[in-house]
Amino acid sequence: MTSTSVAFEKARAEDRAALVGYLPAGFPDVAGGIEALEVMVASGCDVIEVGLPYSDPVMDGPTIQAAAQRALEGGTRTTDVLRTVEAVAATGTPTVVMTYWNPVERYGVERFAADLAGAGGAGLITPDLTPDSADAWVAAADAHDLDKVFLVAPSSTDERLRYTVEACRGFVYATAVMGVTSARASTSELAGPLVARTRRFTDLPIGVGLGVSNGDQAAEVASYADGVIVGSAFVRALLDADDPAGGLKALASLTEDLASGVRRG
C-alpha cells in the first residue's frame, strides 16, 4: 500500500497542490467504475477516493446520491469496493475509501482494515465518525498502517481542530461548505480561514473539499491548500454523458482541466 502522504509530498516537491478525485464504486457499474477511475489517474489525479455506496448518504448532495443509488441498484457490495481499490491501487496511486461508518461496523472493523490493507488501500476517510468515537477504527488502522482521515469544518473550535488533527494520519480533510456536498459555481470564503486555523495545529497536508468543478476554482483552492478534493463534478461528468465512451472522454477532459488548475494555483 502507498500512503496518501507520498502523493502530497510529491506534489509539494513540484510546488503545487495535489488533485484528489472521488467516484463511488459500482458507478456506472463495477467494471465501468474501475475504468473511469483509471482514466482519472491517467489524466492527472494524484489520490483517488473510492466511495462505498450507502443507502442513507445524509451528507451527500443529489449528484452523489444518484450515483450511489445506481451502484446499489446494480448490486454493488463492500467486496466490490475492495476490488475497485485493488485495481486502482495497482496503478501506484494512493487509494482511500470514503465511507459512512455503519457499513464498516457491519462488515467488521478489524476485518475491513485487514481486507483494505490487503487490497493495497491507503486508508479511510470517515465523514460521520469523529476521533472520540473511533477507538476501534484507530486500533485497526494502526495495526495495518492505514491512513486515518478525519474531517474538520468551519464550525470546529480550536480545541476540536487540535484534537482531530492529532488523530489523523495521511492528511486532514477540510470540508469548507456548511451543508451537503455538490459542485458549486463559486468557492467558499470559509475555506481559506479554515485551512489557516488548521495549520496552527498540524504539519499534515490539508485537503479541501467544497464543490470545486473546474480548473479555475481548483487553482483558487490550490493557492492555500495542499490538496483539492473533487467529487460531484466527476460524478456529474458521467451522469450527463450520452454513452460510456462519451462519459470517459468528459471525465478525462475534466481531470486534465482540474490538474492544470492545481498546477496554476
Q: Is the pLDDT of residue 25 over 80?
A: yes
d(CA 139, CA 130): 14
| Catalytic annotation present for 189 | no
Q: Domain map of the chain by residue range? A: 4-264
Pick one of 3.40.1160.10, 3.40.50.300, 3.20.20.80, 3.20.20.70 as the CATH number of 4-264: 3.20.20.70
The active-site residue out of 9, 29, 35, 60 is 60
Q: Is the pLDDT of residue 58 over 60?
A: no
Between 188 and 50, where is the model more confident? Answer: 50
Render pLDDT for 94-141 as a digit per residue (tens, 0 to 9).
999 999 999 999 999 999 999 999 999 999 999 999 999 999 999 999
Residue 260 burial (10 A CB sphere; 0-12, 13-18, 19+): middle
CA angle 243, 245, 250 (to 5 degrees): 95
d(CA 151, CA 138): 15
pLDDT score for 183: 45
Confidence of residue 60 (pLDDT cuts 50, 70, 90): low
What residue spans of the chain are helical by DSSP H?
4-13, 30-43, 62-73, 78-89, 101-107, 109-118, 135-143, 158-167, 191-199, 215-222, 232-239, 244-264
β-sheet bridge partners, residue 95: 48
Mean pLDDT score, 43-57: 87
Render pLDDT for 148-200 as a digit per residue (tens, 0 to 9).
999 999 999 999 999 999 999 999 999 976 444 444 444 468 899 999 999 99
d(CA 161, CA 261): 28
Report phi then psi at 151, rounded to 5: -105, 145
The active-site residue out of 38, 49, 80, 115 is 49
| Catalytic annotation present for 60 | yes
**Stated pTM of the model:** 0.92
Q: Is the pLDDT of residue 39 over 60?
A: yes
Mean pLDDT score, 205-226: 94
Query: How confident is the prediction for the chain on average, in pLDDT?
Result: 91
Mean pLDDT score, 222-228: 96
